[in-house]
Amino acid sequence: MNHDLEHTIALLERTPGALDELLRGLPDEWTDRNEGGDSWSPREIVAHLSHAERTDWLPRVRHLLEFGESQPFPPFDRLAQRRQMQGKGISELLVEFAALRAASLDQLRELGLGPSEMERRGMHPALGSVTLGQLLATWATHDLTHLHQIARVMAHQYRDLVGPWSKYLGVLQCNGHSS
């Protein structure tokens, strides 16, 4: 399967709405609890998606197009949302993410990227040489990683309440690899 930009955009444009339908108006017991310790709540995950939207995805696309492999992407701070989410409820964070994503996709479309650009290369500071197609596919898959994580974090809140059914519920066997 080759990377198809329209398939990637189709997913990217649906994630904010899906998260909004899932999370808006839910009791805090679902949105603000985590998996213990320093793990992330759904509220923090939404804030992380916004932070990635601001500093990671489209900025890296532009960086790759401008510098190629000559200059690595600036590193991404995976914990910056801890500051940015302070005092913000889930509703506000969902609105923020939707606006940021819509703006990113507008800018992405304006770049008018075609199949030949998908092979252009940039330099990841840890992973080395990567293509633009890989970067765009990773953007979409990053959404899915965090949707997967949100489902797991929420299910964790019901771990004890399901009693003997826990062994039939696959999400409760997930070992946290996506945090």
Whose Cβ is closer to its own copies: residue 30's or residue 87's? Answer: 30
Regarding 119 and contact with its own copies (CB under 8 A), the answer is no
Whose Cβ is closer to its own copies: residue 87's or residue 109's? Answer: 109
Q: Which of 21, 66, 77, 119 binds its own copies (CB under 8 A)?
A: 21
String of contacts with its own copies for each residue 82-101, x by CB under 8 A: --------------------
According to DSSP, residue 166 is labeled G
Residues from 28 through 47 that contact its own copies (CB under 8 A): 29-30
Cβ neighbours for 124, distance < 8 A, ≥ 6 positions apart = 72, 73, 130
What type of residue sits at position 35? Answer: E
Give the C-alpha separation, 16 to 147, whole Å.
11
Q: Which of 5, 15, 64, 81 binds its own copies (CB under 8 A)?
A: 15
Give the C-alpha separation, 96 to 134, whole Å.
26
According to DSSP, residue 36 is labeled S
Cβ neighbours for 139, distance < 8 A, ≥ 6 positions apart = 8, 12, 57
Beta-strand pair 121-124/128-131: antiparallel
Regarding 154 and contact with its own copies (CB under 8 A), the answer is yes
Does residue 40 contact residue 128 with C-beta atoms inside 8 Å? no
Whose Cβ is closer to its own copies: residue 87's or residue 168's? Answer: 168
Residues within the interface to its own copies (CB under 8 A): 1-4, 6-7, 10-11, 14-15, 17-23, 25-27, 29-30, 124, 127-128, 130-131, 133-135, 137-138, 140-142, 144-145, 147-149, 151-152, 154-155, 157-158, 160-165, 168-174, 177-179
